[in-house]
Amino acid sequence: MSKPPRWLFDDGLWSLTNDLTVLVANGRFFREAAPDQRALADYAGRQLRMPNVEANRPDPTCLRWHRRKVFLG
């Protein structure tokens, strides 16, 4: 069973820049096989849409912490 995207985030396999551009850890941290779905690596460099409600936007301080302390990239 594959992990949901949130678990992959928690494990540091992907993160976000402050402008919500997707960062994906390099392949030395995991091997990816996605025969029936889009591979995580395909999301690298894509920008997520910012939530319309400001209260739902990710805190840049938290994103910065995740990139420094959790992200494996």
Range of the domain at 19: 6-70
Is 17 inside a domain boundary?
Answer: yes
Reference 69, options 15, 18, 26; nearest CA is: 15
Is 54 inside a domain boundary?
Answer: yes
pLDDT digits (tens, 9 = 90+) for 9-37: 999 999 999 999 999 998 776 777 767 77
Is 1 inside a domain boundary?
Answer: no
Q: Are 30 and 2 in contact (CB under 8 A)?
A: no
Residue ranges of E strands in the chain: 14-16, 22-24
Is 28 inside a domain boundary?
Answer: yes
| Helices and strands, counts by H and E, the chain | 2, 2
Which pLDDT value is given to residue 1? 45
Which pLDDT value is given to residue 29? 67
Place of tokens 């985030």: 9
